[in-house]
Amino acid sequence: MTLQLPSEIVVDRFLPTVRSMLAVELDDRGLAQQEIAAKLGISQAAVSKYLSGKQTGEPRFAEDPRMVETVEYIAEGFATGTLDDYEALSELLDLIEAFEDRGPICAVHEEEMPALAGMGCDLCVRGQDHRLQAERDVLRNVRHAVRQFANTPAVGDHVPNVGSNIGMALPAADEETDIAAVPGRVHAMGGRVNVPSNPEFGASQHVARTILAVMAVDSEIRGAVNLATSEALLDSAAEQGLDTVVFDASYENRTERIRALLEDRGSVPRVLYHEGAFGIEPITYVVGTSAVEAVETAIDCLRTA
């Protein structure tokens, strides 16, 4: 029996395959070989070999629809500048994890180690840290929501002066460090939305506190985005059939006050807003079951605001 780790299959089979596929996709999108080499961390000669078809990789990976979809998504993101290296790595790690859960990496592993055949082996995923997986899922969701938010032209005019933030809580969150958001917030600059960094847990205060207040009433509502309050935004929300509720702008005991307001109401509306106060800019919070859902709801409102 040959003792081989799944990680060896990732390095020897998966990585060359994904690089070959990405090289082809990036070439199709007009990137020069030198640009492709720099992006993939390989030599220009290796890129040339991939493009010549001399190295195509493992068919069981290359033909898998999940691999094809991920490669096309990353290539499009690289070509348009809408996906950074961190996000691309996250997408590939997610794919590897899926392939190691009784997927094509398992099939190759069983081929290399016949003793595993027919065992329904789950060595790669057994004993998984469920909290860590939940954190990865939340961070991935917030990254996607932020990207969608920043790439929507209608958003820029509705980012408040203090900035917007997009957050999502872990299940059963009970403190701000359980909520992922963008450090430094998202700001509108020159008609464009600037995202200073990737989301982190504990990076938000006001959006996080709003999410915690909402979750105390409905634990399924775990995502939120804040915008500048305006009549146009509120009118558009009404046209979309969304319930709205107004709350006092004061910061003092805000979480407790919002929670009490929603408990008395008996439900959580998708739009919560205040009209500002001395030194406090009017802010609207759009909430959803995830950061992506909250942002999609907000964008639907903004397009008609």
Q: CB–CB of 183/197 below 8 Å? A: yes
Check residue 19 and give its pLDDT: 95
Q: HSE on the CB side for 3, CA within 13 Å?
A: 0
Check residue 105 and give its pLDDT: 86
Which domains does the chain show, CATH number per domain? 6-128 (no CATH), 156-302 (3.40.225.10)
Check residue 190 and give its pLDDT: 80
State the pairing for strand pair 166-169/179-181. Answer: antiparallel
- pLDDT averaged over every residue in the chain: 91
Check residue 121 and give its pLDDT: 62
**Of 305, 281, 280, 285, whose CA–CA distance to 295 is shortest?**
285
| DSSP codes of every residue in 141-200 | HHHHHHHHHHT-GGGGGG--TT-B-EEEEPTT--SGGGEEE-TT-BEEETTEEE--S--E
Check residue 145 and give its pLDDT: 96
User: Which stretches in the chain have pLDDT values below 70?
Assistant: 1, 55, 116-131
Q: What is the pLDDT of residues 217-258, one digit of tens each?
A: 999 999 999 999 999 999 999 999 999 999 999 999 999 999
Q: For the whole model, what pTM was predicted?
A: 0.67
Beta bridge partners of 167: 224
Check residue 77 and give its pLDDT: 92
**Of 287, 271, 51, 303, whose CA–CA distance to 43 is shortest?**
51
